[in-house]
Amino acid sequence: MIPELGAQGAELTILRGMRQLLRHHPPIVYVEVERDSLAGFGYTPTDLLGLLRALEYELGTVEQSRFLPMMPGTPLPEDGHADVLALHTTHHAGELRRLRRASPGRG
């Protein structure tokens, strides 16, 4: 199961409520990051992505069937929107390896 979060800015609130699940039985998470919607709830993309990173998730976007890792500090595109795939670094290590091999410039 891959939870998809597109809650018009409430994604951080939902992830905070899922913290125990994310910590102990981490699913792969697909989340819409929308700068303006998050701002309506008093959050920033950095807050949302920072929570996932703190829970040991690796983040990336998927473009043209390629996983493109998002390093901390990577800005959102100019339109302020990104669809982010989050995989736990330990629990989804095999999936991360496969995604990296299939990505451009990755070994």
Domain boundaries, the chain: 4-92
Contact (Cβ atoms closer than 8 angstroms) between residue 32 and residue 83: yes
Segment (H or E) for 32: strand 29-34
Q: What pLDDT score was predicted for residue 107?
A: 44
Q: How far apart are CA 58 and CA 36, in angstroms?
A: 23
**Per-residue model confidence as pLDDT tens digits over 12-67:** 888 888 888 888 999 999 998 999 999 999 999 999 999 999 999 999 998 877 88
**Per-residue model confidence as pLDDT tens digits over 71-86:** 888 888 888 888 999 9
Give the mean pLDDT of 6-15. 80
Segment (H or E) for 95: helix 93-102
pTM score = 0.83
